[in-house]
Structure 1
Amino acid sequence: MLEEEYQKRRRLPLHLQRRPAPERPFSYEIRPAEMRDIEDIREIYNYYVTNSVVTFDEKKWTHRQWKEKFLHLQKLDLPFLVAVAPTGQVLGYALVSPWSGKSSYRYTVENSIYLGHAATGKGLGTALLAALIEACEEKGLRQIVAVISDKGAEGSLALHERFGFEEVGRMGKVGFKFDRWLGTVYLQKSLTPKRKRGVLSRVFGSDD
């Protein structure tokens, strides 16, 4: 018997062959962040701290640091969203922080969006940014500023530009990480608030 005939005969019939399991659809829910999400958020962020220049942080954040940030944003009533898989794992997050501590800047915020490594390239960043913009408008905010590295963050730049963020300035060689100089690109988007002005005044003190 020829070898190729032997190989054909030893194969199982099609109905008995093991078929690969179908790939599960990528699904998630976007909701406000909760205290239980902090550890997943910390792991997502720290991956970028140690492996990229999209953040200029050089030291990993601790659980305590993230807890303090979560409570601070909660006190300011600023949006902090997570995308969560059906298993409960955080796939990515989006938040805004005060652009400045001075009260006159209370309607302007800076955004941050980070995705888990396995959740990139699936449209999650688009969904999170859309939800974040809507949440900011519901809070009565007027401007979002994005500060993005001028190297290694081309995807983030393209994402923000698709949502109408416009470049308003650049700073060169203001950061130094992984033995190289890095600059920043500033983008800005005007919002259409859905709440009356003044709702945020209670969370900021007066200017010094």
Structure 2
Amino acid sequence: MTGVSDSPIEVLVRDASEADMAAVTDIYAHYALTSLATFEETPPALDEMLARRRASVDSGLPYLVAETSAGIAGFAYAAAYRARPAYRFTVEDSIYVADGLRDRGVGSALLGALIERCERGPWRQMLAVVGDSANAGSIGLHLRFGFERAGVLKSVGFKSGRWVDTPILQRRLGPGAASDPSL
């Protein structure tokens, strides 16, 4: 998809279905092959992307797509931050917008919906692990939604012939750490 203007477009954010995953796979492949937004270097096949969606959904976490009149414009999902039990109330977000549609409101629509959905569950913290300190679009998007800079892991990835940092941003979900989530 190639955008011809920078004006916002109308999107419907909804749960991703298996039928959406071919478009999701194509969107993600672009990032794996051409950017530092993900540290994957080889795009996963459709079967792998279907399995990843299923893992999120089976865990009760949201996996969303942004749909326009032209098709799927992006996707976002929440995943467990880490597998150990003490991390069970912390999630990590991922957001990818179709090439040519960035800066058109798709990422904002997806992140807003993802936060809202996660706040309905037991989760109390959301982390964004951003590929590349120079990824101003992703960092800016997260800051606009109340994330705070938590730190930077320096030179932890090597992609496209260079070392890459990962900024970490964090946002409280619901009451955050103000109450016991198990009550």
2:95 aligned to which of 89, 113, 116: 113
1:191 aligned to which of 166, 173, 183: 173
Gaps of 5+ in 1: 1-24, 200-208
Q: How does 1:70-85 map to 2 (within 5 A)?
A: 70-85=53-68
Gaps of 5+ in 2: 1-7
TM superposition shift of 1:198: 4.2
1:54 to 2:43 alignment: no
1:167 to 2:157 alignment: no
Q: Is the 8 A contact 2:11 2:109 kept in 1?
A: no
CA distance in 1, matches of 2:43, 2:90: 27
TM superposition shift of 1:153: 1.1
Please say which structure displays the higher CA radius of gyration: 1
1:48 partner letter: Y
Q: Deviations over 1:124-160 (max 9, x none)?
A: 1111111110000012210000011234411100111
TM-score (norm 1): 0.78
CA distance in 1, matches of 2:153, 2:65: 30
SS of 1:192 mapped into structure 2: coil
Query: What RMSD, in angstroms, separates the aligned Cα atoms of the two structures?
Result: 1.7
2:28 partner letter: Y
**1:29 paired residue number:** 12
For these two proteins, the number of residue pairs brought into alignment is 172
CA distance in 1, matches of 2:65, 2:75: 4
1:144 to 2:120 alignment: no
CA distance in 2, matches of 1:132, 1:93: 10
SS of 1:119 mapped into structure 2: coil
1:127 aligned to which of 100, 103, 109: 109
SS of 2:110 mapped into structure 1: helix
SS of 2:100 mapped into structure 1: helix
SS of 2:103 mapped into structure 1: coil
CA distance in 2, matches of 1:64, 1:31: 21
Q: Is the 8 A contact 1:52 1:152 kept in 2?
A: no
Q: Deviations over 1:74-125 (max 9, x none)?
A: 11010111111235x2110110110111122111000000000132121111
Q: Is the 8 A contact 2:9 2:106 kept in 1?
A: no
Q: Is the 8 A contact 2:150 2:168 kept in 1?
A: yes
CA distance in 2, matches of 1:108, 1:116: 27
**1:204 paired residue number:** none
Q: Is the 8 A contact 1:137 1:191 kept in 2?
A: yes
CA distance in 2, matches of 1:114, 1:152: 16
